[in-house]
Structure 1
Amino acid sequence: MQETDYDVIVVGAGFAGIACARTLAQHGARVCVVDRKRDLGERIHTTGILVAEALLHPCLAGLPAAQIRAVPHVRLYAPNLRSVRLAAPDYRFYTTDTPALMRWLGDGLVERGITLRLGTPFRDAERTGDRWRLPGIGRARWLVGADGATSRVAMRLGLGRVDQWLYGVEHEFDGVALREPDALHCFISKHYAPGYIGWVAQTPTGVQAGLARRHTPGSPVVPDIDGFLRHTAVMTGLSAPGRPDSIRAGLIPCGGPVHAWQRDGVVLVGDAAGMVSPVTAGGIHAGLRHGSAVGEALACRLQCPDAGDIPVVTRAVPGFRTKRALRWAFDHAQFDGPFDLALRTPFMRLVAERLYFHRRGHVVPAPDVSPSMD
């Protein structure tokens, strides 16, 4: 296949890679996005839960209303299944049909003149002068690794690599309804989710249920999602959901940003750079922000090619200091008994509201979405 010259080649068509590519294209850069998947809706590893801020990102402007569902509050469960309802004024979480969303985002790349090459895995890259050459793909001044938590770009080119993980599994059940559909149901349980939580939520097409736990490399232990669903059925109403219509599973970074996420014309973004909250494991909004910020910085570098190395995008590289401390505490001091006793206390409510809503009473304007075409 003929190789083409580009300004930037982005490896990985996830949220961060797409945001980076779109930002670059807005500045007139010639961009190619490659992804090993032949269909951006297949083998999804990302959960379908969005914070309200994510829907305010330009990449999601015009998202069809039929692809999202507002979830106005959180119901947090202690290990004994007692619960407390959490909410913030005018704040919403959103669930989505993730495969449909990724296909929609991919179509948006093509509409903006960005080259999208699916079924094209990254195998290696070689430096030739001031450009990177990807055999069978093309040459570019900058290479962006947006290929996920186990980034092959980082591994091959000697950049920082994620080394702390959660392992998550999510099942989707089409056409099923929850007993309380307007809540994001979150379950604390050291037995089922050591180091993280379980969750159940209503989606535009049914129900998604997930479970994640701290992961040790080489460990064969995976989340017991079937046992978790049986344990929580009395609260969710999912007593016999049947076989899942789709399953997502994979590693989730939880150690904060990697130390070396850029060098010699290579930049990591999103999960590949560890841009995921160590506590909540939320990576979609962080990935969109980081991808766009890196795209802006690269566009600047392309306009001023003699100005040296790409500057660090400090505002888009959070330190997660507080959340990394909470991650340590969750890993070393998670006990079911104290959570059972403390869940309904004002202190625990305050901590939970700050984790879920960033600050108590924080208001986020409702996003604009285009009307459903159904």
Structure 2
Amino acid sequence: MIAESYDVVVVGAGPAGSYTAKTAAEHGLDVLLIERNAEIGVPVKCAEGVSREIERYVELDPRWICTEVKGISTYGPDGTAVTLSVEGSDIAGYVLERRLFDNYLAQQAARAGAEVQVKTQAYDLVQENGYAKGVYVRTPEANERRILADVVVGADGVESRVGRWAGIDTRLPLSDVCTCAEFLMSDITVDEHYLETYFGREIAPKGYLWIFPKGKRCANVGLGIGGDVSGEGHRARDYLRSFVKHRFPDGKVLAEIYGVVPLSGPVYETVANGVVLVGDAARHVQPITGGGILQAVQGGRIAGDVIAKAVKEQNVSKKRLREYEKRWKREFGRVLEVGLKAKNIVLNLNEQELTKFFQPLGGEIKLKEYSERAFLKTLIMKNPRILVSLVKTIF
């Protein structure tokens, strides 16, 4: 079996994996970034929206920006609408072309010095004396290789196996999973600068529906429902087809996308001896929205920095790598915690309770900034009785 050696091997070339690889390489480490698919960014399993906060970490490139978002209109079960936008600014965020965005981040990692390999599937950890020492991989040519590394980064998504191999409990109950269906649609009428979301048990039980424009007369139209309410005839695709039939009867479906999103909050441990989990593998996903692009990049930056220090110190123990956990919790852990509490309240309301929840929000709301924190604080201020349990967490 062929053996290779690196300082770091990153399993998965999504935003979290690529940003981790980029950061570690910028610190002078010998980095290998592997992706099981033939093309990075494919298949897309994402609504592709991100807040303007992404500008703090990634230089914008018009090639992968489909739409500049000015705000979001959210609808309750009875049609009550609330429109959120930003004071003094006409841009709240972006809808991306994820295939190009993911490719861009992988290119940035390569330019920083990381080696990138596609069609490379990790199937187990190399382990020695309680430490991960690399990964075993397969390629389409059926070649099996042993890749040695001081640190293995699990960036392999919600179905991550790296964490399980390292002994981290990554199991999820159905109640903490959102099953999703999305259509890329054309020939539809939408406001190309405003996102739309819809809540209601008839539309998306224990979830919500989204319309994210990708230009004139084109949008990602999708929804997620609670994994514990999905069943024959009542799956995510069934609810989506019903909505599309009535809202966009003449629209054309260009692509269908199916997947799952973790809504549990982060895994209990995101590090082990010689192992770090990032992105969806660490469940760095906002539970109330299901979005995770921003946290993927934030976490990847922190992970790459901590790994570089640990490798140079020749100490990649779980204890040393806990600096990563401390830092991501400090940077975005609280907003995930608040989002989880909000999710547990909002997505479990019945139709009548959900209608009452939206009524105080009706109208237009101007935020000082469009961020997850600002959005959640607005919910609390408008619904103090329903969301009183969140106050101590967010303030």
Scaled by the length of structure 2, what TM-score is found? 0.81
Residues 338 and 354 (structure 1 numbering): CA distance in 2 closer, same or farther, change over 3 Å?
Answer: farther
* Structure 2 counterpart of 1:142: 151
Give 1:63's aligned amino acid.
Answer: D
SS in 1 for 2:200: coil
Q: Which residue of 1 aligns with 2:294?
A: 285
Partner of 1:75: 73
Distance 1:172 1:353, change over 3 A: farther
| Residue pair 1:165, 1:251 contacting (<8 A) in 2 also | yes
- The answer for the alignment partner of 1:38 in structure 2 is 38
Give the gaps of 5 or more residues in structure 2.
137-144, 378-395
- 1:306 & 1:120 partners in 2: Cα distance? 28
SS at match of 2:323: coil
Aligned residue for 1:252, secondary structure, equals strand
Mean CA deviation greater in 251-260 or 47-56: 47-56
Q: Which residue of 1 aligns with 2:226?
A: 214
Residues 1:114 and 2:114 aligned together: yes
- Cα distance change on mapping 1:264 and 1:253 into 2, 3 Å: same
SS in 2 for 1:50: strand
Candidates 245, 250, 254, aligned match of 1:240:
250
Find the partner of 2:274 among 248, 265, 278: 265
Amino acid at match of 1:214: G
Whether 1:173 and 2:173 are equivalent positions in the alignment is: no
- Deviation digits for residues 236-271 of structure 1, max 9, x if unmatched? xx33112x2122221111111111221111111111
TM-score by length of 1: 0.85
Q: Does 1:133 align with 2:134?
A: yes
Tell me if structure 1 keeps the 8 A contact 2:22–2:110: no
Name the structure 2 match of 1:335. Answer: 350
* Counterpart residue identity of residue 180, structure 1: D
Q: Which amino acid aligns with 1:132?
A: K
Which stretch shifts more, 302-311 or 138-147? 302-311
Deviation at 1:191, TM superposition (A): 1.8
Q: Once the 2 structures are TM-superposed, how far is the Cα of residue 360 of structure 1 from its aligned partner?
A: 6.8
Residue in structure 1 matched with residue 162 of structure 2 by the alignment: 153
State the one-letter code of the partner of 1:185. E
Task: Name the structure 1 match of 2:384.
Answer: none
Deviates more, 1:18-27 or 1:221-230: 221-230
Amino acid at match of 1:19: Y
Structure 1 equivalent of residue 258 of structure 2: 249
Once residues 256 and 322 of structure 1 are traced to their aligned partners in structure 2, the CA distance between those partners, rounded to angstroms, is: 10
- Say if 1:162 and 1:273, in contact at 8 Å, map to a contact too: no
Task: From the superposition, tell whether residues 326 and 144 of structure 1 become closer, same or farther in structure 2 (CA, over 3 Å).
Answer: same
CA distance in 2, matches of 1:277, 1:160: 20
In percent, how many aligned pairs have the same letter? 21
TM superposition shift of 1:331: 3.9
Unaligned ranges ≥5, structure 1? 363-374
2:18 corresponds in structure 1 to 18
What do residues 311-347 of structure 1 show as CA deviations (whole Å, max 9, x unaligned)?
Answer: 3332313153322222221343x22234445534258
Q: Compute the displacement of 1:88 (Å).
A: 1.9
Distance 1:315 1:351, change over 3 A: farther
| Cα offsets for 1:344-368 (capped at 9, x unmatched) | 4258977999996532799xxxxxx
Tell me which residue corresponds to 1:370: none
How many residue pairs get aligned? The number is 352
Between the two structures, name the one with larger relative contact order (CA 8 Å, sep ≥ 6): 1
